[in-house]
Amino acid sequence: MEPEERESGYRKYGGIAGKALAGVAILWILFHVVTAGIGTLPNYQQRAIHLGGALALVFLLYSGSKRDSTLIRLFDLVLAGLSVLVLGYIVWNYNTIVESTWFTDETLEKIFGVTLLLLVLEGVRRALGWLFVGMILVFYLYAYFGNYIPGALGHRGLSLDRLIYAFYLGENGLLGPLMGISATVVTLFLILGALLNSSGAGQVFILIAMRIGGRVRGGAGMVAVFGSAFMGMVNGSTVANVTSTGVLTIPLMKRLGFKRNLAGAIEAVASTGGQIMPPVMGPGAFLMAELLGIAYLDVVTAALVPSLLFFMALLIGVYLYALKYDLKPLPAELIPTRREAFEPLALISLMVPIGILVYFIVQQYTIQMAVFWAIISIVAMMLLTVLFRRQPASSSAGERARAVAGLGETPDDITGIQGDLGQRVKKLVRSVIDGLYEAARGVVFIAMIIAAAQIIVSLINLTGLGVTFSQLIVSIGQGQILLSLVLTMVIAIILGMGMPTPAAYAVGAAVLAPPLINLGFDLLPAHLFLYFFASVSAITPPVAAGVFAAVAISGGTVMGTAAYAMILACSLFLIPFMFIMNPELTLQGQPADVALALVSATIGIVFMSITAIGQCRGPVSWGPRLLFALGAVTLIDPSWLTDLIGVALVTLGLAWHLRFDRQARRLAVPQ
C-alpha cells in the first residue's frame, strides 16, 4: 500500500527537523525533474542517486519499531548515511565500475554489497512489511542452493561472490533496467500526479464525472467510475487513485444508498481500470514501450478497445446493481451545471498539462522530456489561476456533494484560493511544496517496491527460472492453449500481489512473456495480457491493496468488498483472453475483422456482467445465467463457428429469461 495506508509506521516531524527533512526530500525530487529536462546522468549514476535518496528517506520517514525513541532515530540517521555512502561509491567510481567485469576493490566492494543488501531488506521491511522480505530471501536461497534442488526447478547454484557482485555492481543487479525506469519514468509520473492533485485536478474530474454520470440510475457509482477513470490514467496507481478520488466518491455512494462493501468495490475496480485507460495509462504503459522497444502510441492504440470494453462492462455492472438494489440517480441539486462542471479556466488548467504530455509523446520526444514539460505546465497553470481567478473553482454543486458525502467544506486548494495577490502567491508556493513532498513520499515507497522487484527479476534471470517456467507453460500449451493461458494468468496475479502495476508487470514479463511468445501469440497482445493481470492483482485476494485502501474509507469488510470487486471485475478477467486470442481487438488487422471482433467481444462482455450480477430487468435464474456464461466464454475463440454458437447461447438464455420475467411481472400485478 501507499505510505498513507501505513500511518502507524510513518513518522511525522515538526519544527526544524520537519522542515529540514522536507527540504532534503524536495531537493531529491527536483533532481529527477531537472535531469529530465536537461538530460539524465549516466545509467548507474542516475539510478544510484535515485535509490540512495529513497533508502535514506525510508529510514527517516518510517519507524523501524513501535518504540520510536531518540536512540532509534539516531540509529536511523546512521542507516541513512550508510545508504548514501554505499551508493555514493558507485556514483563516484562510475567509470571504473562500468569498465570492469568483476570487483575492482574486492574486499571493500563485497562489504558494501552485503551492507547494501541488508539496507534494502530493512527498507523494504519498513515500507512494505515482512512478506516482501521473505520473497527476496526465498529467491536468494533458491539461487544459492539450486544444485540441491531435484527436477526441472534445479540449477547449478550461484556462489556468494557471484551473488554479491551481480547484486551490487552487475548490469542486471539492483541498479538494473527496472531501477532505471523507476529513476526516470515512474518517478516523473508520480510527481506529475502529485502536482495535479495539489492543483485541485481531482475535484475538477469529480465535477465532470457528476455532470456526465449523475443522471443515470446509481449515479453516485457512475461518478466513481468516471472520476477514477480520469484520475487513474494519470497516476497509474490503484491505491493512490482510491485514496485521492475515493474520499469523495465512497462517502457519496454510501449516503445515497449503496452498501459500504459495494461502494468500496466500485471505487477499487474503477481505480484499477484507470491504469489501462488511454491516452496516458500511467507509468506502466511507458515501461511496456521501453521493454518492447516500440512507440508508446502503439501501446495506447492496442489498449484502447480493451479498456473501453472494461469500462463499458463496469458501467453496466453498476447500473445492474442499481436496478437490483433500487438505487436512484444523483439528486438534481447535486448535479453541477454545464458551466460549473466545465468552468473554462479550471478545465484549461487540467487539459493543458495532459495535452502537452500527449503532444510531446506524439512528436516522439523522450518520455522524460514529455513529462518534464507537463510538470512545468502544471505549475504555470497554477500561477495563471492565482493571477486571474478571483472566485473559488469549487462550484456550489461540488460543495453540496461534499456535504452529502459528509465531508464538510471543500478543501482550500490552489484552484479555489481567494484573498489578495500576495496571499494567493504564498498559497501557490505552499501547494507546490506540499505536492513535491507528497511526491517524495510516493517515490520512496515505489522505489522500495521496484528494488524488491528488481532483485527478484535479476535472480530469475540468473537462475534460469524464467526459462523453466517457459518450458513448463509451453509443454502444457502445446495441447491446451486455453489451459496455458489460465496458468499464466494465475502466476501473473500471484507474482503481482501487493505490487504496484509497473513492478507487477515487470516481474510477470520476465517470467511469463517468453512462453507466451513461444506459444505463437503476438508480442504486443502477449505483454498487454500480462499488463492487464498485473493491474487486476491490486483487487485480487488475499493481498488486494486496492481493496484494503477502499475499506479504510468505506468502513466495510475486506472479504465483502473483495467479493463485490471480483463480480464487478469479471470482465477484466475475460477481456485479456479475448484480445490475446483475437489480436483484432488491439486494432491489428482489416477494418471488417476488427469490427466483427468488437461486436462479438461486446456481446460477450455484456452477458458476462449479467451472469455475474444476476440482474436483467429482473432477477436472472440460474438456467439463463448458465447459458449467458457459456455464450460469453465461447465468444473468446475468434472464429465464425464459435461466434455463432456464442450468440445462439446468449439469445436462447435471453429468451428464456424474458419469458419467465414476463410471467413473474404478470403474477406480481394484483388481479
Q: What is the pLDDT of residue 393?
A: 45
Classified as helix, coil or strand, 619 is strand
Classified as helix, coil or strand, 293 is coil
Provide the β-strand partners of residue 619: 615
Asked if residues 142 and 459 have their Cβ atoms less than 8 Å apart, the reply is yes
Sign of the dihedral through C-alpha 120, 121, 127, 131: positive
Residue with the larger pLDDT of the pair 305 and 422: 305
Rounded CA separation 12/445 (Å): 16
Query: pLDDT category, 395, cuts 50, 70, 90?
Result: very low
Summarize pLDDT for 494-541 with one digit per residue, the tens. 777 766 777 778 878 888 888 888 888 889 999 999 998 888 877 887
- Sorted by sequence, the CB contacts under 8 Å of residue 651 that are 6+ apart come out as none
Average pLDDT over every residue of 7-32: 81
Q: What is the pLDDT of residue 410?
A: 42
Of 227-231, 316-320, 504-508, 514-518, least confident by mean pLDDT is: 227-231
Rounded CA separation 53/61 (Å): 12
Average pLDDT over every residue of 263-287: 81
Backbone angle region of 15, left / alpha / beta, with phi > 0 → left and psi within -120 to 50 → alpha: left
Rounded CA separation 313/311 (Å): 5
Helix (H) or strand (E) holding 185: none
Query: pLDDT category, 276, cuts 50, 70, 90?
Result: confident
What grid cell was written down for 534? 498485473
Cα of 372 vs its chain's centroid, Å: 21
Work out the number of other CB atoms within 10 angstroms of the CB of residue 67. Answer: 8
CA angle 523, 640, 592 (to 5 degrees): 65
Q: What is the pLDDT of residue 492?
A: 84
DSSP secondary structure code for residue 10 in this structure:
B
Rounded percentage of the chain residues whose pLDDT exceeds 90? 16
Rounded CA separation 38/48 (Å): 18
Average pLDDT, the chain: 81
Rounded CA separation 629/611 (Å): 6
DSSP annotation string for 450-485: HHHHHHHHHHHHHHTHHHHHHHHHHHHHTT-HHHHH
Average pLDDT over every residue of 634-647: 84
Asked if residues 568 and 266 have their Cβ atoms less than 8 Å apart, the reply is yes
Classified as helix, coil or strand, 395 is coil
- Sorted by sequence, the CB contacts under 8 Å of residue 671 that are 6+ apart come out as none
Distances (CA, A) of 227 to 194, 255, 403, 410, 501: 16, 18, 18, 17, 19
* Selection from 246, 301, 238 nearest residue 569 by Cα: 238
Of 337-346, 437-446, 595-604, least confident by mean pLDDT is: 337-346
Rounded CA separation 585/601 (Å): 8
Classified as helix, coil or strand, 505 is helix
Of 226-230, 452-456, 540-544, 637-641, least confident by mean pLDDT is: 540-544
- Is pLDDT above 60 for 665? no
Residue with the larger pLDDT of the pair 273 and 266: 266
Rounded percentage of the chain residues whose pLDDT exceeds 70? 88
- Sorted by sequence, the CB contacts under 8 Å of residue 396 that are 6+ apart come out as 340
Query: pLDDT category, 594, cuts 50, 70, 90?
Result: confident
Average pLDDT over every residue of 272-283: 76
Sign of the dihedral through C-alpha 142, 144, 147, 148: negative
* Selection from 495, 466, 496 nearest residue 275 by Cα: 496
Average pLDDT over every residue of 309-336: 87
Asked if residues 207 and 398 have their Cβ atoms less than 8 Å apart, the reply is yes
Summarize pLDDT for 86-118 with one digit per residue, the tens. 999 999 988 888 888 788 888 999 999 999 999
- Is pLDDT above 60 for 418? no
Rounded CA separation 179/262 (Å): 37
* Selection from 370, 193, 176, 192 nearest residue 291 by Cα: 176
Sign of the dihedral through C-alpha 35, 41, 43, 47: negative
Q: Locate cell 550461484: which residue? A: 158
Query: pLDDT category, 2, cuts 50, 70, 90?
Result: very low
- Nearest-Å Rg of the Cα atoms of the chain is 26
Exposure class string for 574-610: b at 16+ Cβ within 10 A, else e: bbbbbbbbbbbbbbbeeeeebebbbebbbbbbbbbbb
- Is pLDDT above 60 for 36? yes
* Selection from 451, 466, 506 nearest residue 173 by Cα: 451
Exposure class string for 301-331: b at 16+ Cβ within 10 A, else e: ebbbbbbebbbebbbbbbbbbbbeeebebbe
What grid cell was written down for 278? 488511454
Backbone angle region of 327, left / alpha / beta, with phi > 0 → left and psi within -120 to 50 → alpha: beta
* Selection from 91, 108, 99, 18 nearest residue 50 by Cα: 91
Q: What is the pLDDT of residue 86?
A: 94
- Is pLDDT above 50 for 464? yes
Amino acid at 200: G
Summarize pLDDT for 536-581 with one digit per residue, the tens. 877 887 667 788 778 878 888 888 898 999 999 888 888 899 899 8
Cα of 332 vs its chain's centroid, Å: 33
Summarize pLDDT for 39-91 with one digit per residue, the tens. 888 888 999 999 999 999 999 988 877 776 666 778 889 999 999 999 999 99
Q: What is the pLDDT of residue 398?
A: 52
Rounded CA separation 210/231 (Å): 14
Query: pLDDT category, 281, cuts 50, 70, 90?
Result: confident
CA angle 512, 518, 523 (to 5 degrees): 70
CA angle 229, 267, 348 (to 5 degrees): 35
Of 174-188, 226-240, 351-365, 406-420, least confident by mean pLDDT is: 406-420
* Selection from 195, 313, 291, 277 nearest residue 570 by Cα: 313
- Is pLDDT above 90 for 491? no
